[in-house]
Structure 1
Amino acid sequence: FYHTVDIFSNNVNCDEVIRSELSTYKVTIQEPNVAVDEHQNKGTWTAIFGQGFEVIIGGKKWFAFYKYTEDKDGNYTSHCSETMTGWFHDAAPIVPATPPLHWGCYHGEKAGPKTVRVHAPSSAMDSDEIFKAEDELQKMLEEKATTWTVGPNMLEGMTLRDAKRRIGGGRSRRHVAQQLSATHASEEVDPKLPKSFSWRNVDGALVPVRDQQQCGSCYAFGATEMMSARVRIGLLRQGKKVPKTPSIFDPMVAMLSPQHVVSCSQYSQGCDGGFEYLVAKYGQDFGIVSDHCFAYESGLRVQENTAVPCEYQCPESQRYFVHDYHYVGGYCGNSSVPQLMEELVTGGPISVGILCTPDFMHYQVSTSKHCEDASIEVA
């Protein structure tokens, strides 16, 4: 890692300070999730799907996106041995409900030969052509769909560009890394867990389900509503009465703002997609305000081709900080069904990312059997 000094706050402009004199810090990444630095300190690391990685070692957290460049023809080049300019800071806040301190900037380079990969642009889903299922494709899918139903859905009648945004956005799909197998995860179910369980049966535990509309912000909704529910569940476990619907008069049970994430987070790509793990990281590093302070508008603004600026007015009492976040199983790709069951019951709702084949575009009811669990994230 080539890094600056750690004398900055979380508003550091890395584009400016990365030009200063840099120091080096060597970290060795080992499978499945072990990191060892040049001083023989041990820590952990995780990939964040195909976006980047986070290393926790020596009292610091280091995060950066994988490096890529784009040419005028839309070809993407992955610089597999390098990262973009990223951030590092203290591994945990000194004072609860405040950002971590001692920020700096860095970029990473893998020792040894450099490798690059060129990805040709995929324009099939970037046109104004109207999405409509073809009869032959429908027939083929109906023959395969033993656990789900093929039929018209909300994508019918949209342009292909809008449909892509609706199902997650383009930037959350590029350069997808092969997931680590869950060979290290336990498959034993705790006999103390109930046979069936749903937080929907607990009054006051969940917040209302909302529509992201024409914006690839499912990651922001999934993560902020998971966090909002866990706050409410924590209050219920303390014996406090929690109203069934969020209240603007009680900040402890308010919904967190997905718009804050979409408009303000440098860890995500707005309406072009993102990942729940990085929403949780943003919540620890910067805090997330309530939905009352920063209401959701992006779903309608996308049609006008205008982004919602990062502008809001909130009292600090309505900024919420994440205490901890992690993948179920400890790192990306290592979750198992028993671990998910235990986390759901003991911790609360979990945010799940799904990687699906194109037949998911024709899903109507139940679950496509071609879907694969991509990542399970918890804050």
Structure 2
Amino acid sequence: LPLVGFLAVALADLPIHCLYEEVRGTWTFSETERSGDHTLSCDTLGEIVHTETLTLDFPNTVIDEAGNEGTWTLMYDEGFEVRINERSYFAYFKFSNGMDSSVSYCDQTMNGWSHDMNNENWACFNGEKASAVAPRRTPIKMSTLSQGFYKNDHKLIEKINNSQKSWWAKAYPQHESYTVEEMFKRAGGASVSRNSFTRPAPMTEEQKA
């Protein structure tokens, strides 16, 4: 994962707001060749080699077309992880930023990563839900940020890489040509202003059965 991705996590939540019932349903995952490692960049998707149709169901079960089962987890309200057939898939939901609001597209993902359970054979993928979900617009609150130039924190990068092996952080010298505010915008923009945690939707009679 590029350091700019980590910066987004460190400075603010991504401006994405998707609910469980909006995500639950049938998705198509379009995936590239499974030949990369943890340094794989998914800025562009590349040639699609694998296509999976997966149904994300209650409470956290995922089923493929062959009836194989796995699990899925909503990562706060910003993305999801799906584990099935000895592979893990993670992606954030698609979003866009305006001057005073962000728009979440909860039936689409940005490019994400997949790998096997040995943390090998990495690939890029994106997901699209079979049923459309209305875009969700959320007001955003701009933070007051330093106008000084961004500096790579090499000690932090080393600490990240020593603490886990799922992905690899690295310094990009070209980032130091941007101000802190410019880097913040490149990493996803302003955080969403939330006054409370998202409440889970009530269970339907179908779910209780």
Q: Same fold (TM over 0.5)?
A: yes
1:80 aligns with one of 106, 131, 134: 106
Question: Does residue 5 of structure 1 match 2:33?
Answer: yes
Name the count of aligned residue pairs: 148
* 1:39, distance to aligned residue in structure 2 (A): 1.6
Question: Does residue 24 of structure 1 match 2:51?
Answer: yes
Residue identity opposite 2:90 in structure 1: F
Which residue in 2 is equivalent to 1:33?
60
* 1:372, distance to aligned residue in structure 2 (A): 7.0
Greater C-alpha radius of gyration: 1
Deviation by residue 1:180-200 (Cα, 9 ceiling, x = unmatched)? xxxxxxxxxxxxxxxxxxxxx
CA contact (8 A) 2:39 2:167 kept: no
Residue identity opposite 2:167 in structure 1: F
Q: Secondary structure at the match of 1:9?
A: coil
Residue identity opposite 2:52 in structure 1: Y
* 1:48, distance to aligned residue in structure 2 (A): 0.9
TM-score (norm 1): 0.33
2:92 aligns with one of 55, 65, 73: 65
Which residue in 2 is equivalent to 1:170?
none
Q: Provide closer, same or farther for how the CA distance between residues 284 and 29 of structure 1 changes in structure 2, counting only shifts above 3 A.
A: farther
CA contact (8 A) 2:38 2:168 kept: no
Deviation by residue 1:167-208 (Cα, 9 ceiling, x = unmatched)? xxxxxxxxxxxxxxxxxxxxxxxxxxxxxxxxxxxxxxxxxx
* 1:258, distance to aligned residue in structure 2 (A): 8.3
Q: Provide closer, same or farther for how the CA distance between residues 70 and 54 of structure 1 changes in structure 2, counting only shifts above 3 A.
A: same
TM-score (norm 2): 0.58
Question: Does residue 121 of structure 1 match 2:147?
Answer: no
State the distance in 1 between where 2:182 and 2:158 align.
13
State the distance in 2 between where 1:83 and 1:104 align.
15
Which residue in 2 is equivalent to 1:328?
none
Q: Which aligned segments of 4 or more residues in structure 1 are displaced greater than 4 angstroms? A: 371-374
* 1:14, distance to aligned residue in structure 2 (A): 1.6
Which residue in 1 is equivalent to 2:80?
53
* 1:58, distance to aligned residue in structure 2 (A): 0.2
Deviation by residue 1:152-174 (Cα, 9 ceiling, x = unmatched)? xxxxxxxxx37xxxxxxxxxxxx
Residue identity opposite 1:6 in structure 2: R
1:259 aligns with one of 156, 170, 185: 156
* 1:75, distance to aligned residue in structure 2 (A): 2.6
Q: Secondary structure at the match of 2:156?
A: helix
* 1:61, distance to aligned residue in structure 2 (A): 0.3
Q: Secondary structure at the match of 2:128?
A: coil
* 1:113, distance to aligned residue in structure 2 (A): 2.3
- Structure 1 residues not aligned, in runs of 5+: 94-99, 127-160, 163-256, 266-279, 289-303, 309-355, 358-370, 375-379
Residue identity opposite 1:86 in structure 2: G
Residue identity opposite 2:78 in structure 1: Q
Q: Provide closer, same or farther for how the CA distance between residues 306 and 80 of structure 1 changes in structure 2, counting only shifts above 3 A.
A: closer
Question: Does residue 106 of structure 1 match 2:106?
Answer: no
Q: Secondary structure at the match of 1:26?
A: strand
- Relative to total residues, which structure has the larger strand share, 1 or 2? 2
* 1:42, distance to aligned residue in structure 2 (A): 0.7
State the distance in 2 between where 1:114 and 1:57 align.
24
* 1:84, distance to aligned residue in structure 2 (A): 0.6
- Relative to total residues, which structure has the larger helix share, 1 or 2? 1
Aligned-pair RMSD on alpha carbons? Answer: 3.9
State the distance in 2 between where 1:70 and 1:261 align.
31
Residue identity opposite 2:127 in structure 1: G
State the distance in 2 between where 1:104 and 1:35 align.
20
* 1:122, distance to aligned residue in structure 2 (A): 2.8
What aligned pairs does 1:204-219 form with structure 2 within 5 A after superposition?
none
* 1:20, distance to aligned residue in structure 2 (A): 1.5
Residue identity opposite 1:78 in structure 2: S
State the distance in 1 between where 2:38 and 2:123 align.
9
